[in-house]
Amino acid sequence: MKDYQARPDLLAGRVVLVAGASSGLGRTASLAYARHGATVALLARNEARLETVYDEIVAAGGPEPAMFPFDLAAADDRGLETLAGTIAHHLGRLDGMLYSAHQFFSLTPLALQTLEQWQSLMRVNLIAPFALTRACLPLLRQAPDASVVFTGESHGHRPAAYWGGYAVAKAGLETLTHIWNEELADTATLRINTLIPGPVATTLRARTHPGHTPDALPAPDDLMPWYLYLMGPDSQTVRGQIIECAP
């Protein structure tokens, strides 16, 4: 998929929700989806950063996006259902969702991690992607070709010391993907996959590996062929997969 060439109108007419759209891979994916014709529903906690991404999309000539300032760490069922209803009211449809939001503290031995930290890690990295998908499920089922992409993590796929609650939450995301896939087996128009970016030059990588040179890593734009492929119609038969950009 790294050599996948997305046609310019790949996502024309589609509405794609990006959770974590204000920075990192979520921001880059939002810009890429808009460049390929999607109306992007931008969701993140930081409204000022969302406005910056909004302006970038408009300045590049993409379809006018929608902004949804929303704190996933504090979300409940009612709030998420209201969010889904707002998307339906203002955008009329939902053809895809990328969950790129994350919570991370630091690389720390399990003995030093707290219950409060684990609750936050699970809530944002595992519970929220489940709950957001569940809330948006009626809209996604109505789409003729819908795709949900969760963002996994290498250390959730292959656990390692010091990654603690973050790795456990990301490992759970893979299990969640398989369960959703089995439960949606009779819904040919909706697929759910997890994409593991691997090492990439983002602010999160700078926090976990401060001694590494960013220039030696792929840039977020380098990973967009995977993000576009999984969100577009060319991946209709890819279901319930855990896909690594850099295995």
Helical residues (DSSP H) of the chain, grouped into ranges: 24-35, 47-59, 77-91, 115-122, 128-142, 154-157, 164-183, 203-208, 224-231
Neighbours of 96 (CB within 10 A): 26
> Roughly what angle, to the nearest 10 degrees, separates helices 24-35 and 224-231?
60
Are 26 and 100 spatial neighbours (Cβ–Cβ below 8 Å)? yes
Given 33, 54, 99, 166, which residue is catalytic?
166
How far is Cα of residue 164 from the mean position of the Cα atoms in its chain?
Answer: 21
- CA distance linking residue 203 with residue 120, whole number of Å: 19
For residue 90, with 0-12 CB atoms within 10 Å meaning exposed, 13-18 middle and 19 or more buried, which class applies?
exposed
**Tokens coding 13:** 């007419």
3-class DSSP state for residue 41? strand
Whether 99 sits among the annotated catalytic residues: the reply is no
Token pair 């089995």 is found at 182
Are 103 and 147 spatial neighbours (Cβ–Cβ below 8 Å)? no
Nearest to 30 by CA among 4, 2, 5, 67: 67
**Catalytic residue IDs:** 166
